[in-house]
Amino acid sequence: MIFWDSSAILPLCINETMSPAVKAAAIGDPEMVVWWGTRVECLSALSRRLREGTISAEAGKQVRFLLAELARQWHEVLPTETLRQRAERLIMVHPLRAAYSLQLAAALSWVREEPGGALLASLDDNLRIAATKEGFTVVP
């Protein structure tokens, strides 16, 4: 199992430069684990692309369909007070934005604070660095 950050999920649904690498990682991961807010983050990124005109309305419908299919299959780490406190610690230790601190806190919750090289998929440089420092192996 791999913990998937939203930055790595959207390239599964939209053809981007990193899509082949992310899709290769997904093929070997039949049980994705994500943060509870991941779907909202992905829809936010999709909406931004639609507003900017970088993808068509028809392509947007296809992306929403693919995202819904993924969401039906993935496992979500739900929000808790402990997770919020973990995210607060992470944001003070690493140069992360709030959403990425919640993503990493969810990943740490998933592995019960013992990453031991567990896999985390992300395309965000700051999250990749922080996750590595916390003990994860980052892909792709």
**Which of 33, 51, 130, 135 is CA-nearest to residue 91?**
130
**Which of 99, 131, 105 is CA-nearest to residue 117?**
131
**Which of 52, 56, 47, 51 is CA-nearest to residue 10?**
47
The 10s digit of each residue's pLDDT in 8-51 is 999 999 999 999 999 999 998 889 999 999 999 999 999 999 99
pTM confidence score: 0.93
In the DSSP assignment, the letter for residue 34 is: E
The pLDDT, as a whole number, for residue 131 is 98
- Domain range for 128: 2-139
Residues 54, 13 contacting (CB under 8 angstroms): no
The pLDDT, as a whole number, for residue 28 is 83
The 10s digit of each residue's pLDDT in 82-113 is 999 999 999 999 999 999 999 999 999 999 99
- Other Cβ atoms less than 10 A from the Cβ of 41: the count is 20
The tokens of 13 are what? 């649904």
Q: In the chain, how many domains are there?
A: 1
The CATH number of whichever domain residue 95 belongs to comes to 3.40.50.1010
Residues 12, 22 contacting (CB under 8 angstroms): yes
* Residues paired with residue 120 on neighbouring β-strands, in sequence order: 3, 138
Task: Name residues whose C-beta falls within 8 Å of residue 93's C-beta, 6 or more positions apart in sequence.
Answer: 130
